[in-house]
Structure 1
Amino acid sequence: MKPFKLLIFLLFSSSLLSQTITGKVTDNLDVIPFANVVLKQQKTIVTGTTTSDDGLFDLKITPGSYTLEISFLGYKTYTKDINVKSNLNLGTLLLQEDAQALNEVVVKTEKRILERKIDRVIFNVEKSIAATGGNGVDVLRVTPGVQLQNNALSILGKGATQVMINGRLSPLAGDELIAFLSGFAADDIVKIEVITSPPAKYDASGNGGLINIILKKGAQNAWKNATTLSYNQNKYNFTTLNNNFFYNKNKISLSASVNGSIGNFENLERLVIEYPTNIWDIDIEGKQKTDQISGRFLIDYAVSDKTTFGFQYLGNNTEPGIEATTISSIFDTNNIFERSQENHAQNEVENNNHSANFHIISKLNDLGKQISFDADYFTFTSDRTLDYFTEQLDIDGNSQGISSSAVNIANQNIENFSSQIDIDVPLKKVNLSYGAKVSFTNTNSGVLFFDTTSGMEVLDPNQSTDFKYEENVLAAYFSGNSKLNDKLTMQFGLRFEDTKTIGISTDTNQENINNYSKFFPTLYLSYTKNEDNNFNFSYGKRINRPNFRDLNPFRFYINDNSYSVGNPFLQPSFSDNFEISHLYKNNFNTSFSLNITTDGFGVFFNTDVINQDQIVTRENYFKKYIYTLQESFSYSKISWFKSQNSINVLAYITELTKDIDAEVNNGIQFYAESNNTFILNKSTKLQANAWYSSFHNDGLFSIGQLFHLSFGLQHDFKNNLKLSMLFSDVLNTGSLRDYNSTVNGIEQSYSQNASSRNFRVSLSYNFGNKKVDVKNRRFGNDDEQRRSN
């Protein structure tokens, strides 16, 4: 037992000889990072530190009497006499602005494009020229470690992910999420947080971590207005106009924005299918609309120094319809042309969503104990009308008549209400937080299929359906963090979620009921060996629930020979995420992670060999392991050049858990990215960004190599006018290609290019006070909204 006792003594000897002083520094609106915190005795500095990005600080000191001083440029120095006898939590310390100092000096800080924390990577959007003048989707395309393919977002090595707006999960996914994010101007976003291992406070949904979009707001006693006009040119073109207004005065904090775009972009797709008797080469040329209008509004009112309540609204209307021509060329097994068919489709889409959040925060004492309450309501409607006909052509291109003609009408209506309560309780040795959430979701979906071959609309009841789905979730969590000694910090959490669902197909009287309860633990350890070396470990368990549309058993026809169908029997999948990392001199970060997904589900491309139909469905069919080794590093020793880079090696191993006739492709991927900024002069910057993904196998698919290169130029004029230009995917090699799979012995190869190569020019004009801070309010029904695709 002696070695064990010696180990215990060494681990905790520092805490026996000294005490820890902790606290949080804020102003009237938010936390203050990088504030100076010092302890003095008789005007002599004994020790000191700076606050973290979260405004937190901790100091180790021997017992005694001290004077605490906190200072930050533009604020009055905070002074407090303290008597340290044991560990002391000072709670939240409020700094008051110094109006004279603010008028006399202009503060310029140099933030990195990328910052790293124990559980996330932060991408500072304001430092990226590639994001200027674009929208939320453009920002995500250039966010390091984030991939966007086929309107599906994922974190590299983690799989499909979810998006949060100001810390609240978005209720949308897929096409609807992309349309919604297109409504955000890049200039309205201050930073993107890529959270690879979310804490217990967040919903457990999402196997692949979280992406948190933090929006801007104005500073205290200031107002600001920013207007941006952007023009984007590909084969077609579209124009976007965005306006943001921020106002903060005394007890009121207000921000509002409106964004609209109009125009089109080209969307090209190709699919090659090798049947036993012939080969289909399918080319799709689409002209897709970008028409949309969106807005957001947030207001907070400080009832007192300790209580604030507020309201937040987000909403948009999008019409991402597409006019497409599909030409299918059919060859025999000797690659000799036999015939073709031409499909013309007009797909009209209108989506509307509205999110409302009411919140109240009350500080219960001066030591940091507080309670917050959120109530959220969300509604989403989607109406789609697909009008198409297919014409058969002979070998010489002569028409053989119309083989099919139909109108397919689909609609979806989702409503969700949720409420959540959170309590923070700082104790002497640990900061605890706990809370609970309830969520109620109702969704109604339907499809009407009309055969129009005769020239009349004839309802086909066999291809028309209604689907109702209800989901109720009850959740509770607790989490805590503690500084075990000078070098070791621990954070832990446990979340419980009880889920009840019922899906009803009214036309077939089919009912599917699910009840399941699960625990979701999280653990983080951070060990600081010295100023140059920091080690981190994290573990978290997650759940991934199917999107509502994926559960709907209706057929949505794409053309004569292709349709998509939902699966009401889909089950959620679960993932275990482990990560170990080492940060050296705050520049070199080495990490190794393992993501294990059980009962995984995904899109499954099935083929009816006899009728030569393409069926896109969803199945639970795999268990998956993803191993990721990453090395990231930054360079900023030259005043005019800054660079952020990462190199990744990923290994994918998939095991089939269902007896399906498909080939599993396990393999290794090499992925690298580099973001470089050249400061040409005080007003002009050039940015060169690139990423490369090697050919690799993953699950049922193999994916061809991709290379994306873009250049951005930004110039600031003296009259608050900013010009930005971006040349994206200059070589046109960054779009999805050679996406291959073999199912039921049928080989398929898919590629897509949604105007990856394009040029954007933007003009931005700001007036008012330029100070900008961050508003960190969230929606409580984010997961339900996310799944509304």
Structure 2
Amino acid sequence: MKKANLLIFLLLPLFCLAQSTFALKGKVTNSSNPLEWADVSILNAEGKIIDGITTKQDGTFEINIKKGFYKIEISLLGFTDFQREISVESDLDLGIISLKESATNLNEVVIKTQKNIVEQKIDRVVYNVENNISTAGGDALTAINTAPGVVVQSSAINILGKGASRVMIDGRMIELSGEELNDFLKSISASDIKSIEIIANPPAKYEANGSGGIINIIMKKGIRDSWKNTSILSYDQNTYGIYTLRNSFFHNKNKFRFAASVNGRLGNSRSTEDLDINYPNGLWQLRDDSKQKENNLSGRFSLDYDVSDKTTIGFQYLNERYNPDMKSNTVIKIFNNQNSVDSLLVNNGFNNKYSGSQTYNAHLVSKLDTIGRKFSIDLDYFTYDSKFDKNFTANSYSPDGTYQNTNQSARNNSKQNIDNYSIKADMEHPIAFMNLSYGAKASFIKSNSNVFYYNTITGNPVLDPNQSNVFEYTENNQAVYMNVDKKMNEKLSVQLGLRAENTQTNGYSGTLSQEVTNNYLKLFPSLYLDYKLNVNHGLNFTYGKRINRPGFGLLNPFRTYINSNSYSEGNPFLKPSFSNNFDFTYSYKKNLRTNIFFNVINDGYGVIFRSNPETNTQIISRENYFNESSFGIGESYAAEVTNWFETQSSVYLLGSKTTFISNINAVPSNNAQLYFTTENTFSLGETTKLQVEYFYSSPFKKGLYEIGYMAGLNLAVRQSFLKNNLQLSFLVNDIFNTSYLKDYKSVVNGVTQVYSQNESNRFLRLSATYNFGNKKIKVQERDFGNKEEKKRTK
């Protein structure tokens, strides 16, 4: 009964007050003539488009709108955008609005004006990635790593001080994490990305899962009444070489918007790993050198159709195939207490890997009236498949290299399949004194994974049922939310949200005959305050409660052997962790941002690297073992300093306090971390740009782990030809080879482990980008009412 009452409370608005509308009209011209097809947008106090239209042949427009404060924006190719804040108390005639021609050759319609590099919204930071030179020829993972306050390291995407973040594409969640998510993002071209939203405290509209907030990738949609094709060819050189070919096509005419892209990658990369384990009876020193294929093929297709001026339907499809086969050679030197080598253990293996995913989306967006009511519905299906076939042999040798025996020979064969169905409905429902939105979502996830272990020491594979496993996992989630926002006055805006999520999970290991179920209902409030002191100074405060549910693979209780003396095991009893996140931001002239944050995590879970001194075996496990408070302050500056110099720089001072809630036989340790990053772009001429990037992360301790310093210097040059249609780019990434994970240290059970990993961060990239198209398609003369969808194309 309580759940039913909650659903009613969240889905139904308390009341809706009728209110008359007023006519807002005007005429758009240049210095002498009326301008047809100019885009007229009406935005509310939070910058959200609530209505829009295009000017008629005589340059006039008229929109019916409710009483209130708004911003009107008018734009047209070849002209500088017009913006103005208005107060609607009655019918309002803005008179003649004259647009100024942009300072470029209008015959080519090349506009130099561009958005700020970083924009602060009431509930997120928007990073406009389009002009970043270092991402040319790169992928979505590369683009994310350039976003302010975001770090990609060791298969994790982190918002600084927050933890691992989830990733969405155009507001739709990707149900992957870790290496699987990174592989998926590598299949998306950075050239297809318009902007990246960093949402540290996501509003109630979004899923509450993920303590590190959400990274939302906004894809390009193309300019209305035009078509465009972009082709990119690039070559990366590290120890090995990688060739990449990408092509994107956009076509927008009348009621149709169509986009398609294909991406292919072929080549190899190198990865090295070092691990020192200090057992009581001597040091074990592991060195691994791997060659991994980077073969990938992916495609994306989308189509939107305006059924009417107010209703749009659409479909999207993404397909990705990845074959990261890997050949590895692992040498373990085994020392005695006198620090001399007793023996060598050599693991040679080949991993035959495959992964593939398909994403389907169908959606409908309908504007119900002229006062801002809008309804949308999304149907989504996501499927992911992976196969892993690992053969390895571990041979023992004497210190002089004499063969002694075969310690272990085996084959691991595993498969995983993930299916995710979801349906989501959202309603934007402005009423007399506030903007109200509400909605619901149901999601159904099923994951099947198995591991079959074959002993091949005799030369013939023999199935070992004690080391084989079948694991099934289901997770169903039903959520409802309500969000209200109101501009209290010209200075203060307030947004409140509440989301309820009801979750049911079931994990079953057929091999171990073990089943674990959970069923819980949780509430997730959010609060946003935005206060403009004056035109130059602004304050912003956000709060949100989040949940961090364990990934499917972490719940599988079975052991997977990495080599003969190391295995990884999941934990079906892992519980979700919860976090309360507080953020305060001061901004000056939209260029300088000071951010102070405080986050509290309860029942935090993570990886524990244990070692058994009796058997000299490394055990990688997962547990809910800590509570943690994280805090920090960051200073960011992004601006076009001169007409030839742009900069985006940040410095963060981070700290934490950790307490262990599980008996893991370890002592927490914490100290401060300094993180600095700067990206500087220099215009060396009309067609030449130079970009210099640098980051530095100081050594620090956090909870169970100590991490060494990391730093990286990148240099990129872009030269444009053929009136900017052809661009050649050159990138040197991580010039000094210092950006990799190093000195990752933990002490558990009195055994010290120190780990480092280098995944070919240093490389050279040459890329060529060619654009062609037509910005003057002849179209039917008509009024265009679906302004919000169209505005997303810019």
Report TM bin, short chain: 0.7 to 0.9
- Give the match for residue 564 of structure 1: 568
Which of 599, 603, 606 aligns to 2:607? It is 603
- Give the match for residue 253 of structure 1: 257
Given that residues 50 and 57 in structure 1 are in contact (C-alpha distance below 8 angstroms), is that contact kept between their aligned partners in structure 2? no
Structure 1 residue 106: deviation in Å?
A: 4.0
| Secondary structure of the corresponding residue to residue 557 of structure 2 | coil
Structure 1 residue 122: deviation in Å?
A: 2.0
Structure 1 residue 555: deviation in Å?
A: 1.6
| 1:576 paired to 2:580 | yes
| 1:292 paired to 2:308 | no
- Give the match for residue 495 of structure 2: 491
Structure 1 residue 428: deviation in Å?
A: 2.1
1:64/1:315 Cα in 2 relative to 1: closer, same or farther (>3 Å)?
closer
Whole-angstrom CA distance in 2 between matches of 1:187 and 1:771:
23
User: Which amino acid in the other structure matches residue 72 of structure 1?
Assistant: S
User: Which amino acid in the other structure matches residue 728 of structure 1?
Assistant: N
- Give the match for residue 542 of structure 2: 538
| 1:727 paired to 2:697 | no
| 1:744 paired to 2:749 | yes
User: Which amino acid in the other structure matches residue 292 of structure 1?
Assistant: N
Whole-angstrom CA distance in 2 between matches of 1:347 and 1:247:
42
Structure 1 residue 117: deviation in Å?
A: 2.0
User: Which amino acid in the other structure matches residue 287 of structure 2?
Assistant: D
More displaced, 762-771 or 241-250?
Answer: 762-771
1:56/1:588 Cα in 2 relative to 1: closer, same or farther (>3 Å)?
farther
Whole-angstrom CA distance in 1 between matches of 2:411 and 2:555:
23
- Give the match for residue 16 of structure 2: none
| 1:304 paired to 2:308 | yes
- Give the match for residue 447 of structure 1: 451
Given that residues 166 and 776 in structure 1 are in contact (C-alpha distance below 8 angstroms), is that contact kept between their aligned partners in structure 2? no
Structure 1 residue 107: deviation in Å?
A: 3.0
Whole-angstrom CA distance in 1 between matches of 2:419 and 2:661:
34
Structure 1 residue 774: deviation in Å?
A: 10
CA deviations on 1:116-174 (whole Å, 9 max, x unpaired) are: 22222222222111111111122122222111111111111111101111111111111
Whole-angstrom CA distance in 2 between matches of 1:137 and 1:69:
35
| 1:368 paired to 2:372 | yes
User: Which amino acid in the other structure matches residue 507 of structure 1?
Assistant: T
1:544/1:296 Cα in 2 relative to 1: closer, same or farther (>3 Å)?
same
- Give the match for residue 769 of structure 1: 774
| Secondary structure of the corresponding residue to residue 142 of structure 2 | helix
- Give the match for residue 671 of structure 2: 667
| 1:756 paired to 2:761 | yes
| Secondary structure of the corresponding residue to residue 180 of structure 1 | helix
CA deviations on 1:196-252 (whole Å, 9 max, x unpaired) are: 111000000110011111111222111111110010000011111001011111111
- Give the match for residue 590 of structure 1: 594
Given that residues 478 and 502 in structure 2 are in contact (C-alpha distance below 8 angstroms), is that contact kept between their aligned partners in structure 1? yes
Matched positions, count: 726
Matches within 5 A, 1:296-335: 296-335=300-339
- Give the match for residue 138 of structure 2: 134
Whole-angstrom CA distance in 1 between matches of 2:606 and 2:483:
32
1:752/1:69 Cα in 2 relative to 1: closer, same or farther (>3 Å)?
closer
More displaced, 445-454 or 101-110?
Answer: 101-110
- Give the match for residue 186 of structure 1: 190
Whole-angstrom CA distance in 1 between matches of 2:776 and 2:418:
39
Whole-angstrom CA distance in 2 between matches of 1:132 and 1:616:
38
5+ unaligned residues in a row in structure 2: which ranges?
1-19, 27-37, 53-65, 100-104, 778-786
Whole-angstrom CA distance in 2 between matches of 1:436 and 1:391:
57
| Greater RCO (CA < 8 Å, at least 6 residues apart) | 1
- Give the match for residue 677 of structure 1: 681
| 1:398 paired to 2:402 | yes
Whole-angstrom CA distance in 1 between matches of 2:354 and 2:549:
25
Whole-angstrom CA distance in 2 between matches of 1:768 and 1:184:
22
Whole-angstrom CA distance in 2 between matches of 1:190 and 1:139:
10
Structure 1 residue 180: deviation in Å?
A: 0.8
- Give the match for residue 470 of structure 2: 466
CA deviations on 1:243-295 (whole Å, 9 max, x unpaired) are: 10111111111101110101101101100000000101100100011011011
1:318/1:735 Cα in 2 relative to 1: closer, same or farther (>3 Å)?
same
Given that residues 225 and 776 in structure 2 are in contact (C-alpha distance below 8 angstroms), is that contact kept between their aligned partners in structure 1? no
- Give the match for residue 638 of structure 2: 634
Matches within 5 A, 1:509-528: 509-528=513-532
Whole-angstrom CA distance in 1 between matches of 2:776 and 2:728:
20
CA deviations on 1:398-420 (whole Å, 9 max, x unpaired) are: 11121110000111111111101
5+ unaligned residues in a row in structure 1: which ranges?
1-18, 26-33, 39-48, 96-100, 779-789
More displaced, 259-268 or 655-664?
Answer: 655-664
1:660/1:120 Cα in 2 relative to 1: closer, same or farther (>3 Å)?
same
| Secondary structure of the corresponding residue to residue 667 of structure 1 | coil
CA deviations on 1:17-45 (whole Å, 9 max, x unpaired) are: xx9999999xxxxxxxx98889xxxxxxx
User: Which amino acid in the other structure matches residue 153 of structure 2?
Assistant: Q
1:125/1:84 Cα in 2 relative to 1: closer, same or farther (>3 Å)?
closer
Whole-angstrom CA distance in 1 between matches of 2:271 and 2:609:
21
Structure 1 residue 64: deviation in Å?
A: 11
Whole-angstrom CA distance in 2 between matches of 1:503 and 1:24:
60
User: Which amino acid in the other structure matches residue 766 of structure 1?
Assistant: N
| 1:278 paired to 2:294 | no
User: Which amino acid in the other structure matches residue 183 of structure 1?
Assistant: S
1:595/1:332 Cα in 2 relative to 1: closer, same or farther (>3 Å)?
same
- Give the match for residue 217 of structure 1: 221
- Give the match for residue 695 of structure 1: 699
CA deviations on 1:614-633 (whole Å, 9 max, x unpaired) are: 11111111111110101112
User: Which amino acid in the other structure matches residue 595 of structure 1?
Assistant: N
Whole-angstrom CA distance in 1 between matches of 2:406 and 2:25:
71
Whole-angstrom CA distance in 1 between matches of 2:443 and 2:504:
11
Structure 1 residue 103: deviation in Å?
A: 6.5
TM-align CA RMSD: 3.2
Structure 1 residue 556: deviation in Å?
A: 1.5
| 1:71 paired to 2:74 | yes
1:366/1:610 Cα in 2 relative to 1: closer, same or farther (>3 Å)?
same
| Secondary structure of the corresponding residue to residue 395 of structure 1 | coil
More displaced, 118-127 or 179-188?
Answer: 118-127
Given that residues 732 and 757 in structure 1 are in contact (C-alpha distance below 8 angstroms), is that contact kept between their aligned partners in structure 2? yes
Given that residues 449 and 471 in structure 2 are in contact (C-alpha distance below 8 angstroms), is that contact kept between their aligned partners in structure 1? yes
For normalisation by structure 2, the TM-score amounts to: 0.87
Given that residues 200 and 493 in structure 1 are in contact (C-alpha distance below 8 angstroms), is that contact kept between their aligned partners in structure 2? yes
| Secondary structure of the corresponding residue to residue 738 of structure 1 | strand
Whole-angstrom CA distance in 2 between matches of 1:69 and 1:757:
47
- Give the match for residue 28 of structure 1: none
Whole-angstrom CA distance in 2 between matches of 1:769 and 1:345:
53
| 1:228 paired to 2:232 | yes
Structure 1 residue 113: deviation in Å?
A: 2.6
Whole-angstrom CA distance in 2 between matches of 1:65 and 1:737:
56
Matches within 5 A, 1:103-114: 105-114=109-118
Whole-angstrom CA distance in 2 between matches of 1:513 and 1:324:
38
| Secondary structure of the corresponding residue to residue 218 of structure 1 | coil
More displaced, 381-390 or 68-77?
Answer: 68-77
Structure 1 residue 605: deviation in Å?
A: 0.9
For normalisation by structure 1, the TM-score amounts to: 0.87
Given that residues 44 and 69 in structure 2 are in contact (C-alpha distance below 8 angstroms), is that contact kept between their aligned partners in structure 1? no
1:177/1:335 Cα in 2 relative to 1: closer, same or farther (>3 Å)?
same
| Secondary structure of the corresponding residue to residue 198 of structure 1 | coil
User: Which amino acid in the other structure matches residue 749 of structure 1?
Assistant: V
Structure 1 residue 776: deviation in Å?
A: 10
- Give the match for residue 3 of structure 2: none
**Identity in percent:** 45
1:56/1:682 Cα in 2 relative to 1: closer, same or farther (>3 Å)?
farther
Whole-angstrom CA distance in 2 between matches of 1:420 and 1:64:
31
Given that residues 204 and 526 in structure 2 are in contact (C-alpha distance below 8 angstroms), is that contact kept between their aligned partners in structure 1? yes
User: Which amino acid in the other structure matches residue 734 of structure 2?
Assistant: D
Which of 405, 428, 431 aligns to 2:432? It is 428
Whole-angstrom CA distance in 2 between matches of 1:467 and 1:196:
33
Whole-angstrom CA distance in 1 between matches of 2:526 and 2:70:
38
- Give the match for residue 389 of structure 1: 393
